[in-house]
Structures are given as C-alpha cells and as structure tokens.
A and B are shown apart, each in its own frame.
Chain A
C-alpha cells in the first residue's frame, strides 16, 4: 500500500512520522512532500546529474528512515531533512566530484535580482548572471553552502543554522564573508572585461 496525494496532504509532518513508525508506507508521504526540493538542493550543492541526485536522495532517505526516532518536533522537520541530506551529500559525493559534471545551477530572475542587489551588482548588464555564477562557484564550500541555503532555498538564519548545525551568529558571519568574496570576484571580473574589452 503506497500512499499518494490527498492522503498524504491531510497529514502534518509529525503525524506522518508517527504513522510511518507503525506502517512504513506512510514514509513515502515525506518523500513526496520534500523529495523534489531536496533533489534540487542536492544538485545545487553537488552539481550531480539528475540520476546521481536521485540515487543520493534515495540513500539519504534510507538514513532518514533509520534515524526517524531521533527526530524531535522542536526542530522544523524540513531543517532536519536538509541536514541529513546535506551531510550525506558531503560525505558521499564530494569525494567523487573529480569525475566532473556538466550540471549548472538553475538561476531564476528572483535569485539573480536578490543576490545582485545584496552584492550591489549593476542591474541590467548582460554578463551579470555569468559573473554571479562564476563568483558562486569560486567560493569555498562553507561559504557556497550558506549562499545556496539563503538565496536558492530561501531559508532564514535560524533554518540555515539548523541545517548546518552552526550558531546563527556564525551563519551571519559566513554570509557576510561570502557576499564580500562574491562582490570582490564580480568587481575583478568587471575590471578584466573593461581592460580587455568585450569578446
């Protein structure tokens, strides 16, 4: 009996967990509710292909199942799921990423505008997206993580703190540092373009 759609929709996260511990099929509701977001997140932090991301997600959900009794409702379930997925991807994927991947982040206008505004990047310039993409990829992992969670997953400081298991103050520090590094990268990139002229 695999549960779907309306049956899952009427249950809260905590109810799903409580029922899943009795009847495993209810666990598919969590996959249905959070799977797509988490798969996208996996691709954002690992640059894995669709197939690889799905495998990582399957494995991460098995881990979530094993640790289901560890969950305490004082933490947002989404933050806890993100945390397990994040840690799983870090431990499993990053060792293998030398294989390379052609996947690139999917930037929509909202992300570009908000991030560009925070970095005081010029609006409307044609190469803005390229600069932002390069700047993000140039960031060390710990800074790219907070930028991804903040701008792509639209999380607040508290949620980011829960996912990464770091104090909120550290989240703020890393975000500021990441923004500074990205802004610096973008400025250097612009200087190069000005000096050598557009190709």
Chain B
C-alpha cells in the first residue's frame, strides 16, 4: 500500500481525531499565565528585598564590625531569594513552552521578567505592601522569620553596641528603656547624636548605637528611630546633639 494511503487508513481505523483547538488555546493561555505569576512572584520578592534594604541602616555600618552585606543578609529572609530564583526559572520554562517564546533567549526572558518585577515590586514597596506582607507571612505560623523579627534580633545585642526598645521615661541626659525581651535599661544620652525625627517620648521605639556600661546600663552615641535612618526631618527638642 502507498505510504500516504497507509497513514490515512491507520487514522481512520484507529479513529484518531485532532486534539481540539480550545485545548491548545487554553495551554498557551496557561503558559502566559505562569509567566505573569512569575512576574508577580518576582515583584513580591523584589519589594521584600527593597524593604530589607530600607531596614538595614547602611549608614550605621561604620559603627560595627559587620559588613553591609552581612547586615543586609542578616535581615533578608532567604525564602524571598528562593522565590526570586523560582520566579525566574518559571519565567524561562514557561516562555520556552509557548508557541513562539523560544525566539527569546533565556537571558532576555530574565531581563524582561526582572524589569517588570522591579517596576511592580517598587510600586508595591512604595505603597507599603512589602512591610504588610512581611508581617502577614509572619502571622501565618509557618517557619518564617520576618524582617522585623530579624531586625529585632540584630538590635538586641548590647554587648556589640546595638540596642533597641521602647522609651519608658526620659530625664535630662538619660532615659529608661525596655528592650524587646522586656529587660529594663538605664540609657545615658550624654553627648549622643539624636536623629531629628526622634521625639524621645514614652512609648516611642528607638534604636541605639553605643556601649554597654553595666548589666542593664548603656551609653548611647546615636539614637535613631526604629523605622529607618531618620535624618530626613528637622529636629525638635534640646536633648543631646540634634542632627541637621
């Protein structure tokens, strides 16, 4: 039998029918959906990384024996780095399975994905989404230590000159403070730089750079707001040396 006849006969005998068009459309849509998800995942990861950068206080690194990278890595939950890598992997695999996606090199797919993730992630970060999401993840009960938790751990090392907590009472050149473990501290503010945005009011959370002078005594060289470097607003109040 002629090969073409044989093939047609085989199709007829086995009653083979072409797969429906909607299946291929759905598949193609699914592939682009995965690519969109990879961008979203990348955006969330990127916004969290931005949040970690914001919380790192790079300008304080000069006081410590640790490098900028060490401080940044200590704050960044690695789950987000993994998310970022997974997102990029998903993007490459999904695009290569699309009808014409193989025309785009993996490097270009990564660059396109990163660009969109960067833009979306930055918008999410500016909108305050990264901090909210970090806290939300922390509440899920999974083994996830949030950036805030990591930051608290980083700033609970008075022997290394890093202490943070809630202001309880403020006197002329000193204050009482409760750290995150509930320990009370007598803090000397004599000659300390106090960031302009710090109000030094009871209930305010601040972080201190200085030296531990006793079991529950600390001499502050710098007082900063808990949220960030805190040098952008004009100072108020007379205590210590207010930064400009």
Q: Are B18 and A69 in contact (CB under 8 A)?
A: yes
Q: Are A165 and B8 in contact (CB under 8 A)?
A: no
Nearest chain B CB to A48 CB, angstrom units: 15
Is B64 among interface residues, defined by CB-CB distance under 8 A?
A: no
Nearest chain A CB to B231 CB, angstrom units: 48
User: B1-41: which residues lie under 8 A (CB-CB) from chain A?
Assistant: 2-8, 10-12, 16-21, 23-24
Q: Are B103 and A69 in contact (CB under 8 A)?
A: no
Task: With a 10 A CB-CB cut-off, give which of B7, B11, B17, B105 has the most chain A CB atoms.
Answer: B7
Partner of A31, one of B7, B16, B21, B102: B7
> Which B residue sits closest to A167, measured CB to CB?
B105
The residues of B that contact A31 with a CB separation of less than 8 Å are 3-4, 7
A65–B17 Cα distance when bound, in Å, is 7
The residues of B that contact A75 with a CB separation of less than 8 Å are 99-100
Partner of B103, one of A54, A68, A167: A167
Q: Are A62 and B11 in contact (CB under 8 A)?
A: yes
Cβ proximity bits B71-108 to A, threshold 8 Å, 1 near / 0 not: 00000000000000000000000001001101111000
A139–B5 Cα distance when bound, in Å, is 37
Identify which of A19-27, A100-108, A116-124, A190-198 touches chain B: A19-27
Q: Are B7 and A66 in contact (CB under 8 A)?
A: no
The contact size tier of chain A is 20 to 34
Nearest chain A CB to B151 CB, angstrom units: 43
Other 19 A-B pairs with CB < 8 A, given A2-B5, A66-B19, A69-B20: A35-B3, A54-B3, A57-B3, A58-B3, A61-B7, A62-B10, A62-B16, A65-B18, A66-B17, A66-B18, A68-B18, A69-B18, A69-B19, A69-B23, A70-B19, A161-B103, A166-B102, A168-B103, A169-B105
Cβ proximity bits A143-169 to B, threshold 8 Å, 1 near / 0 not: 000000000000000000100011111
Is A72 among interface residues, defined by CB-CB distance under 8 A?
A: yes
A31–B4 Cα distance when bound, in Å, is 6
User: A61-87: which residues lie under 8 A (CB-CB) from chain B?
Assistant: 61-62, 65-70, 72, 74-75
**With A65-B18, A69-B19 given, is the CB distance from A58 to B6 under 8 Å?**
yes
Partner of A58, one of B7, B12, B17, B20: B7
| Interface of A toward B, CB cutoff 8 Å | 2, 21, 24-25, 27-28, 31-32, 35, 54, 57-58, 61-62, 65-70, 72, 74-75, 161, 165-170
Q: Are B7 and A28 in contact (CB under 8 A)?
A: yes
A145–B89 Cα distance when bound, in Å, is 26
Nearest chain B CB to A136 CB, angstrom units: 25
Task: With a 10 A CB-CB cut-off, give which of A28, A62, A165 has the most chain B CB atoms.
Answer: A28
A61–B8 Cα distance when bound, in Å, is 10
> Which B residue sits closest to A32, measured CB to CB?
B4
| 6 pairs from A and B in contact (CB 8 Å cutoff) | A24-B8, A61-B7, A62-B10, A62-B11, A70-B19, A167-B105
A24–B8 Cα distance when bound, in Å, is 7
A165–B99 Cα distance when bound, in Å, is 9
Nearest chain B CB to A2 CB, angstrom units: 5
> Which B residue sits closest to A1, measured CB to CB?
B8
Cβ proximity bits B201-236 to A, threshold 8 Å, 1 near / 0 not: 000000000000000000000000000000000000
A98–B104 Cα distance when bound, in Å, is 35
The 3 closest A-B pairs by CB, nearest first: A165-B102, A31-B4, A28-B4
A52–B36 Cα distance when bound, in Å, is 44
The residues of A that contact B105 with a CB separation of less than 8 Å are 167, 169-170
> Which A residue sits closest to B17, measured CB to CB?
A66
> Which B residue sits closest to A31, measured CB to CB?
B4
> Which B residue sits closest to A169, measured CB to CB?
B105
A24–B4 Cα distance when bound, in Å, is 12
